[in-house]
Amino acid sequence: MKAVVYRGERDVRVEDVEDPTIDAPTDAIIRITTSAICGSDLHMYEGRTGAEPGIVFGHENMGIVEEVGDGVSDLKTGDRVVLPFNVACGFCRNCENNKTGFCLNVNEGFAGGAYGYVSMGPWRGGQAEYLKVPFADFNALRLPEGEEHEHDFAMLADIFPTGYHATELAGVGPGDTVAVYGAGPVGQMAAYSARLRGASEIYVVDKVEERLRLAEEHSGAIPVNFAEVDAPAFILDATDGGTDTGIDAVGYQAQKPDGEDEVPAMVLNNLVTSTRATGRLGVVGLYVPSDPGAPTEEAANGRLLFDIGTFFEKGLKMGTGQADVKAYNRQLRDLIIAGRAEPSFVVSKRVPLEDAPDAYARFDRREDGYTKVVLDPAA
């Protein structure tokens, strides 16, 4: 089959790879109908992780069940499903507690697994024609038959639950004010989720105008262009002392306004500044223990200059980590079916698998029209 293979810094290729096979009785094979490219893939694409060449990318996958192992009881050939980016067993201590992002049985010596991602276990990605799904009864979320809401449902693999998870970590409740740093797909979904949860004011910080406009239009957000204003100062002023909650949807590759330099702890420290004393932070933007391209030696080992003094003084709380997609995807699916959520507004392009190399390059440059690209292996 054809798949998107990582070959080195800013080099992905569509290559022929072995078809996946049923190796355990609980496996299923999915024929991919939509697989999305994620900002998380860009960290690997840019050579900013320990990813080795040869990885098949793709952790945002949906499709049709092609084949199931003997131990699969609930799924059958022909079912339409979306897969959480987390691979999880369903029966370890963390899975039992809904913490499927930290499964103890799918990635030896590590809490948490995912498809097509460095350090996340042996699971091949789904930017391909087919995908093997382990513990398939547990991992697959069934969808209504047909082709309706394809792009809305595709967002259930990662960014919609991840954005929602950010609001859960920050405890965004009715009437709360929120500052979301980053208006990429994850920031869009965090702002959108904040609105679903009844936030009174949502500030969204980025410097890509198209993305700021998108958040304004679909989440009722107040855009803050950090290339034009000092974002934390602007938010402090507008909220009379800071927002109740804050969300990091940028991570360690946070840029200075000029776009030249990175300041890895910039967004964390902006949040410490722009959140009111006793406020709450949800950090879903990625931080890594090893970054080959880091601006400093400390940062290369995941050690950043975090304003812990002010963080402590203000009595802030912070939640971090990979989203536990399964904790939310069923309810978010039902909001889509009921017509009360339409996360596909973030999808800007659908292209054939062969065009993945070009799409990666453009998404990496944050070109207009490339906010969220989905791949169509059948095209």
Binding site for Zn ion (CB under 5 A): 38, 40, 60, 158
For the bound state, the minimum distance from the C-beta of residue 364 to ligand NAD, rounded and expressed in Å, comes to: 9
29 or 288: whose CB is closer to ligand NAD?
A: 288
Please state, in angstroms and rounded to a whole number, the distance separating the CA atoms of residues 291 and 50: 7
Please state, in angstroms and rounded to a whole number, the distance separating the CA atoms of residues 315 and 309: 10
Q: Which residues contact 257 (CB under 8 A, 6 or more apart)?
A: 207, 226, 227
43 or 350: whose CB is closer to ligand NAD?
A: 43
Which residue number places its CB atom closest to Zn ion? 38
For the bound state, the minimum distance from the C-beta of residue 185 to Zn ion, rounded and expressed in Å, comes to: 8
Q: Would you call 226 exposed, middle or buried from its count of C-beta atoms within 10 A (0-12, 13-18, 19+)?
A: buried
| Residue 162 binds: one of Zn ion, ligand NAD, none (C-beta under 5 to 8 A by kind) | ligand NAD
| Residue 157 binds: one of Zn ion, ligand NAD, none (C-beta under 5 to 8 A by kind) | none
Q: Are 152 and 176 in contact (CB under 8 A)?
A: no
For the bound state, the minimum distance from the C-beta of residue 78 to ligand NAD, rounded and expressed in Å, comes to: 30
As a whole number of Å, the end-to-end CA separation of the chain is 14
- The neighbour count for residue 292, using CB atoms within 10 Å, is 13
158 or 176: whose CB is closer to Zn ion?
A: 158
| Residue 105 binds: one of ligand NAD, Zn ion, none (C-beta under 5 to 8 A by kind) | none
Q: Which residues of this protein are in contact with ligand NAD, per CB under 6 A? A: 38-40, 42-43, 158, 162, 181-187, 205-208, 211, 226, 249-251, 254-255, 266-267, 284-286, 322-323, 366
| Residue 212 binds: one of Zn ion, ligand NAD, none (C-beta under 5 to 8 A by kind) | none
Please state, in angstroms and rounded to a whole number, the distance separating the CA atoms of residues 176 and 172: 6
Please state, in angstroms and rounded to a whole number, the distance separating the CA atoms of residues 135 and 91: 10
- The neighbour count for residue 145, using CB atoms within 10 Å, is 10
For the bound state, the minimum distance from the C-beta of residue 101 to ligand NAD, rounded and expressed in Å, comes to: 7
75 or 180: whose CB is closer to ligand NAD?
A: 180
